[in-house]
Amino acid sequence: MNKDKELLEFQVVRSITMVYKNCLNLIEGLQQEHDIQFGKLKKSMPEKKELLSQAEYLDRAQFNFLRKKILDSGNDVKRELISYMENFDIKTKE
């Protein structure tokens, strides 16, 4: 593989990785906010704690599911783009 193509593949992988890291940071922040808000509800309504626990929508299992989907999507896109680039001869401008 030529150096120009290697550089392009590296940049593509790097950019896609940045996108899914940002997505992961977003869902981590969302989960933290979810935990804070449900914690406040449970504290203010201790008699409804069990009901509130049932209402929690972003539990650890859901978070892990979303995390896996984001990582799988990013990896799929990387593989697809790199595979697609195999059809091209790539040269940088001089």
Residues 6+ apart with CB under 8 A from 40: none
For the segment 42-91, what is each residue's pLDDT rounded down to a tens digit?
A: 999 999 989 988 888 898 999 999 999 999 999 999 999 999 988 888 88
Question: Where do we find the tokens 């401008």?
Answer: 93
pTM: 0.80
Residue 1 pLDDT more than 70? no
pLDDT given at position 40: 94
Cβ atoms 11, 85 nearer than 8 A = no
For the segment 6-31, what is each residue's pLDDT rounded down to a tens digit?
A: 889 999 999 999 999 999 999 999 99
DSSP single-letter state for residue 87:
T
